[in-house]
Structure 1
Amino acid sequence: MKKLLSLLILVLLLSCNNSFYHVATVQSEQVKPIDNNFVFENEHLKVVYNLWEKGGRMRFLLFNKTDLPIYLDWSKSFMVRNGTQTLYSQLPAFTKRAYVDTVHYQYQQLDILPYRLTARSNQITELPSRIYVAIADFPIQQTVVNAKTKEKVITYSQENSPLRFGQQLTYSFDQTRSNPHQITHSFWISQIQVLRSGELFRQYGPLYKGHPNALYAVETRLAAGRSVGIALSSVAVSYLLIMESMKHMFDGVSLCC
């Protein structure tokens, strides 16, 4: 009886929960959506961002457009989250159990593997000429959930956005890091859309893919429209509780005619 009661309560809890995805669209003044990509270019570098992940990830491709190697200086490169700056060179090295980035990088019919010479193990990263390099080890780690409203879409300005973040990358054309150049990119959440899993798939595709200029959070809440099922389940649980109590009540009692 106790096992049956525990199983019924577990089924009740699972049936009452539902997952909602809070998808945050990201805008930038420097980085622009181009052909379903999130791209910046100057005369030296092309940067292709893919921020899609639970909590967001500063994930990007770098392409050296020049005929010379470019040296990325991590000691003068940093990420900013809501006004808090983190130098990339201060990030701890990955452990054996560290998060492994699972995004499959495909860009312009190229397969690009995550680059291992990053800030976590090097002060400088060399970007070879005319080659794409994937940088993927900088989680934004910011959960933005709009759970205190019934609205499914909420918009923000740059000033009242719940998350403003960005990065600066410093690079030069020699290993002594003289005559440095910088590129600075800033982002902010301009919209949060609350979606069920089916709606998420229809608008953004599979969860592992998403959109490059968006990130998401997951909220679990009581499923709407389940009140009848909850009531019936509650009655069943009450019945089992009563039966269990009656069983103990008559333990040790013998009836005679």
Structure 2
Amino acid sequence: MKTLTFTALAIFAFALTSCSRYQLNVLSSTNTSKNEQTGNFEFQNDSVRISYSFYGNNAPVSINVYNKLEQPLYIDWQRSALIVGDKAISFVPESVNINGSVDATTSTYRNFIPGVNNTSFTTGNINAVAGLPKTTTFLPPHSQSNNTTLNLTNGFLPIPDSALKDQKILDKYTQTLTKVKNANFEKANSPLLFKTYLTFYTIKDNQAKPFAYQHEFFVSRSLTSLTDLQQLDGFDHTRGDYFISSKATGYSKVMTGAVVVGAVGAAAALNSSTNTTTE
């Protein structure tokens, strides 16, 4: 009986903690074309092919550049930026990431003199690698490179309730219609408008010949639901033109605490029941 009670509580607690709210944001562009198969945004001319993807947690800005020239091409990330509103954010990280491990050994020497504590010594070494920011990418002729250093968001975008309308979309897993809140936007009223500014250069006669491209994007649609939106028709596969954020609902947070308290109470009751004897 005790095992069944705790199992039931654990299942109930898991069900509550898994309650989340999801927001899916679809992106559009004013001056790039969209690959309808991948959802990636693309720009190309005789020199380069640039492809953008924003799929992933907090919308990582993934930029793929292919050099179409017969000579080397350089991407100057130091003079490139993501522009959100009027704020320019460099593609070169300001911090240095260090990954490593510590190996340590502790030795304790017993002291048999009364009133004197034992003595411990720790020796070790650190193995670490510092990831230095990449300021320039070298692309040989007809080669490509991918760069992802920034994220567009850090959580949900603020969508006004007045913009949200009820809509039902097919859930491809359950084959039922799921209710979502949907909002459509133009560039002028989008909750997120941003640009990329990329600087390139080639070298001729030992002189750098720089040139730049600027591309503009905005959120054109936003959906919110208590159902994982990647189960819905049209969003059930990875695409570069949308990103999803999620967070626990307030009800889930409160009820999780209630379940923990209930579990403690149940444990105390079961323990009391187990220890009671009948004379």
Same fold (TM over 0.5): yes
- How far did residue 166 of structure 1 move? 2.4
Structure richer in strand, relative to its length: 2
- How far did residue 131 of structure 1 move? 1.4
- Maintained 8 Å contact 2:229/2:235: no
- 1:27-42 matched pairs, under 5 angstroms: 27-36=28-37, 37-42=40-45
Name the counterpart of 2:53: 50
Give the distance between the partners of 2:36 and 2:201, measured in 1 at CA: 29
> Taking structure 1 as reference, are residues 79 and 180 closer, same or farther at Cα in structure 2, changes over 3 Å only?
same
Over aligned residues, Cα RMSD in angstroms? 3.9
> Taking structure 1 as reference, are residues 39 and 52 closer, same or farther at Cα in structure 2, changes over 3 Å only?
same
The secondary structure found in structure 2 opposite 1:14 is helix
- 1:76-87 matched pairs, under 5 angstroms: 76-87=79-90
The secondary structure found in structure 2 opposite 1:15 is helix
Runs of 4+ in 1 over 4 A off after TM superposition: 1-10, 145-150, 245-248
- How far did residue 35 of structure 1 move? 3.4
Name the counterpart of 1:161: 190
Give the distance between the partners of 2:6 and 2:220, measured in 1 at CA: 45
- Tell me which structure has the larger Cα radius of gyration: 2
- Maintained 8 Å contact 1:88/1:120: no
Q: 2:224 aligns with which of 189, 194, 218?
A: 194
The secondary structure found in structure 1 opposite 2:186 is coil
State the TM-score, normalized to the length of structure 2: 0.63
Letter in 1 for 2:11: V
- 1:216-227 matched pairs, under 5 angstroms: 216-221=244-249
- Maintained 8 Å contact 1:71/1:177: no
Alignment length (residue pairs): 219
CA deviations on 1:105-145 (whole Å, 9 max, x unpaired) are xxxxxxxxxxxxxx953332112211122222333243235
Do residues 64 (structure 1) and 67 (structure 2) align? yes
The secondary structure found in structure 1 opposite 2:187 is coil
Name the counterpart of 1:213: 241
Do residues 139 (structure 1) and 164 (structure 2) align? no
Give the distance between the partners of 1:192 and 1:56, measured in 2 at CA: 14
Letter in 2 for 1:83: D
